[in-house]
Chains A and B, each alone.
Chain A
């Protein structure tokens, strides 16, 4: 249960502390997910490396691209009107994470690094073609989010690497989710659609195994702008067919298929200017 808590002031110091703790060190950002595990002894680190003093907070627009520091709390994005205006799908997804009190501390980098299969942020970031900037002792590297996510709770990070920032190009976008309870619950499925250019649609879904993913089959059938009714229906049916849904305590496979079909169609209507 006990562990050593350290809060390095530079990335280099953080890498060193993580390397020393090889295999028995955990990274702490907002802590809203890690502390959940620590209480249940699913993780028993000997050392916890807090990122709170690293200079990676903040977010800024670089032209049409939002660059978010990995330790930026989700609430800072939620309260920025430019995020709601230029990345509406991301804004909706952020609002779907936990409660306001949780979003005051939970970070974007933490959500990516913890890579929960039911994350509300991963589908929309996949649809928006987000890129992850990874920092390590040898320098930084960039990776598309789709390559960064390997499996449930598994990423391409190689210890002692850390996420430094996440880059998200602005695009009309929408995120729709289904839950048993609207608040403080985990989504059974989440559907994200980005519409970055004429007749270009990127669809991603969460709440599936082993991780959220794009649905290229559903995307390929969307050739018109805006897609007419039959085209939307075909894309929605293809999405429901294509995604590998699990049955678990949150929902059955069949329920997830039906909901995803409905949400994909609803999302496309919304992006065409209709009501979501």
Chain B
């Protein structure tokens, strides 16, 4: 069954036809199951953990709580495309330098969410960024290095 506006889903700059995607399918499942973009992780599937965070038109969204056909023509950016964004590259570099991951499952969500925050609020302080990162959970509880990565980013200035 095709969706109501059913044309294409633009992910990381590439358009994918979604006419065959069922109306009830979530963006998370389309990305992972159809487009083979496995960097976006499924955590809780209830909007509580942030592991599935992607950018929709530059703003963070929980891809487990978005129907694929509801995205319309707004461009989607996943972790696979985040390095094309200068803020995304800076976040990746900071996470790399601080070793801000343990098992790594939550990392794509953190990187994408933080990239979105930097674009939305370029002047935000480290504390403000950390407050708004509270939607992302790390089950390894490896927060100390993530906090260091955020402070590193802010020490560089906006």
Residues of chain A at the chain B interface (Cβ within 8 Å): 1-7, 28, 31-32, 35-36, 38-39, 48, 50, 52, 75, 79, 98-102, 104-105, 182-184
Q: Is the CB of A102 within 8 A of B67?
A: no
Which residues 1-43 in B have Cβ within 8 Å of A in the complex?
A: 1, 3-5, 22-24, 26
- Cβ of B113 < 8 Å from any Cβ of A? yes
CA distance A244 to B23 in the complex (A): 41
Q: Mark B116-144, 1 if CB is under 8 A from A, else 0.
A: 11001000000000001011110000000
- Minimum Cβ distance to chain A for residue B44 (Å): 10
When distances are taken between beta carbons in the complex, the residues of chain A under 8 Å from B64 are 35
* Extra A-B contacts (20), CB below 8 Å, given A39-B46, A101-B116: A2-B23, A2-B24, A5-B24, A5-B70, A7-B4, A31-B66, A32-B65, A38-B24, A50-B4, A50-B67, A50-B70, A52-B72, A75-B59, A99-B50, A99-B62, A99-B134, A104-B61, A182-B134, A184-B134, A184-B135
Q: Is the CB of A4 within 8 A of B66?
A: no
Known interface pairs A98-B135, A101-B50, A183-B135; A31-B117 also in contact (CB < 8 Å):
no
When distances are taken between beta carbons in the complex, the residues of chain B under 8 Å from A39 are 45-46
Q: Is the CB of B47 within 8 A of A36?
A: yes
- Cβ of B102 < 8 Å from any Cβ of A? no
- Cβ of B77 < 8 Å from any Cβ of A? no
- Cβ of B53 < 8 Å from any Cβ of A? yes
- Minimum Cβ distance to chain A for residue B121 (Å): 8
CA distance A32 to B64 in the complex (A): 9
Q: Which 8 A-B pairs have CB atoms at the shortest separation, nearest pair first?
A: A99-B135, A183-B134, A5-B23, A101-B60, A7-B4, A104-B59, A100-B132, A35-B65
Q: Is the CB of B23 within 8 A of A3?
A: yes
Q: Is the CB of A36 within 8 A of B65?
A: yes
Q: Is the CB of B23 within 8 A of A48?
A: yes
Q: Is the CB of B132 within 8 A of A184?
A: no
Known interface pairs A2-B24, A5-B23, A48-B23; A98-B47 also in contact (CB < 8 Å):
yes
When distances are taken between beta carbons in the complex, the residues of chain A under 8 Å from B56 are 104
When distances are taken between beta carbons in the complex, the residues of chain A under 8 Å from B134 are 99, 182-184
CA distance A161 to B143 in the complex (A): 46
A-B residue pairs in contact (CB < 8 Å), sample of 15: A2-B1, A7-B4, A31-B67, A31-B70, A36-B46, A39-B45, A50-B67, A52-B70, A75-B59, A99-B50, A104-B60, A105-B61, A105-B65, A183-B134, A184-B135
When distances are taken between beta carbons in the complex, the residues of chain A under 8 Å from B1 are 2, 4
CA distance A173 to B103 in the complex (A): 43
- Minimum Cβ distance to chain B for residue A122 (Å): 19
When distances are taken between beta carbons in the complex, the residues of chain A under 8 Å from B47 are 32, 36, 98-99, 102
When distances are taken between beta carbons in the complex, the residues of chain B under 8 Å from A98 are 47, 135
Q: Is the CB of B4 within 8 A of A35?
A: no
Q: Mark B77-119, 1 if CB is under 8 A from A, else 0.
A: 0000000000000000000000000000000000001001100
Question: Which of B5, B72, B135 is the one whose CB lies under 8 Å from A102?
Answer: B135
Q: Is the CB of B70 within 8 A of A101?
A: no
Known interface pairs A36-B46, A101-B61; A7-B5 also in contact (CB < 8 Å):
yes
When distances are taken between beta carbons in the complex, the residues of chain A under 8 Å from B46 are 36, 39
- Minimum Cβ distance to chain A for residue B53 (Å): 5
Among A36, A38, A101, the one with the most B-chain Cβ atoms within 10 Å of its Cβ is: A101
When distances are taken between beta carbons in the complex, the residues of chain A under 8 Å from B24 are 1-3, 5, 38
